[in-house]
Amino acid sequence: DQQVKQNSPSLSVQEGRISILNCDYTNSMFDYFLWYKKYPAEGPTFLISISSIKDKNEDGRFTVFLNKSAKHLSLHIVPSQPGDSAVYFCAAKGLMNYGGSQGNLIFGKGTKLSVKP
Amino acid sequence: KAGVTQTPRYLIKTRGQQVTLSCSPISGHRSVSWYQQTPGQGLQFLFEYFSETQRNKGNFPGRFSGRQFSNSRSEMNVSTLELGDSALYLCASWDRGETQYFGPGTRLLVL
How do residues B49-99 score in pLDDT, each as one tens digit?
A: 999 999 889 999 999 999 999 999 999 999 999 999 999 999 999 877 778
Q: Closest Cα of chain B to A50: distance in Å?
A: 10
Is residue A1's pLDDT more than 80?
no
Over residues A11-64, the pLDDT tens digits come to: 999 999 999 999 999 988 888 899 999 998 789 999 999 998 999 999 999 999
Could you list the beta-strand ranges (E) of B14-95.
19-24, 31-38, 42-50, 53-57, 64-68, 74-78, 87-94
Residue B84, helix vs strand vs coil = helix
pLDDT of residue B88: 95
Count the neighbouring beta carbons within 10 Å of the beta carbon of residue A43.
Answer: 22
pLDDT of residue B45: 93
The answer to whether the CB of A46 falls within 8 A of the CB of A60 is no
Cβ contacts (< 8 Å) between B45 and chain A: which residues?
94, 103-106
For testing contact with chain B, the best of A51, A101, A109, A112 (most B CBs within 10 A) = A101
Average pLDDT, chain A: 91
Q: Which residues pair with A113 in a beta bridge?
A: A11, A86
Confidence of residue A110 (pLDDT cuts 50, 70, 90): very high
Region of A69 (left: φ > 0; alpha: ψ -120 to 50; beta: rest) is alpha
Region of A70 (left: φ > 0; alpha: ψ -120 to 50; beta: rest) is alpha
Cβ contacts (< 8 Å) between A3 and chain B: which residues?
none
Region of B13 (left: φ > 0; alpha: ψ -120 to 50; beta: rest) is beta
Q: Which helix (H) or strand (E) holds A56?
A: strand A56-59
pLDDT of residue A91: 94
Cβ contacts (< 8 Å) between B43 and chain A: which residues?
44, 89, 91, 105, 107
pLDDT of residue A98: 44
pLDDT of residue A11: 97
pLDDT of residue B95: 79
Q: A67 Cβ partners below 8 Å, 6+ apart?
A: A55, A73
pLDDT of residue A99: 45
Task: Please tell me the distance from the alpha carbon of residue A6 to that of residue B79, in angstroms, as a whole number.
Answer: 33
Over residues B25-48, the pLDDT tens digits come to: 999 999 999 999 998 888 999 999
Q: Higher-confidence residue: A101 or B14?
A: B14
Nearest chain B residue to A49 by CA: give it: B99
Is residue A96's pLDDT more than 60?
no
The answer to whether the CB of B42 falls within 8 A of the CB of A108 is yes
Is A42's CB within 8 Å of B104's CB? yes
Class of residue B60 by CB neighbours under 10 A (exposed 0-12, middle 13-18, buried 19+):
middle
Output DSSP code: residue A96: P
Count the neighbouring beta carbons within 10 Å of the beta carbon of residue A2.
Answer: 13
Cβ contacts (< 8 Å) between B31 and chain A: which residues?
103
Nearest chain A residue to B90 by CA: give it: A43
**Average pLDDT over every residue of B11-17:** 97
Task: Please tell me the distance from the alpha carbon of residue A59 to that of residue A46, in angstroms, as a whole number.
Answer: 12
Q: Closest Cα of chain B to A98: distance in Å?
A: 9
pLDDT of residue B79: 95
Q: Closest Cα of chain B to A105: distance in Å?
A: 7
Q: Closest Cα of chain B to A89: distance in Å?
A: 9
Task: Please tell me the distance from the alpha carbon of residue A2 to that of residue B105, in angstroms, as a whole number.
Answer: 24
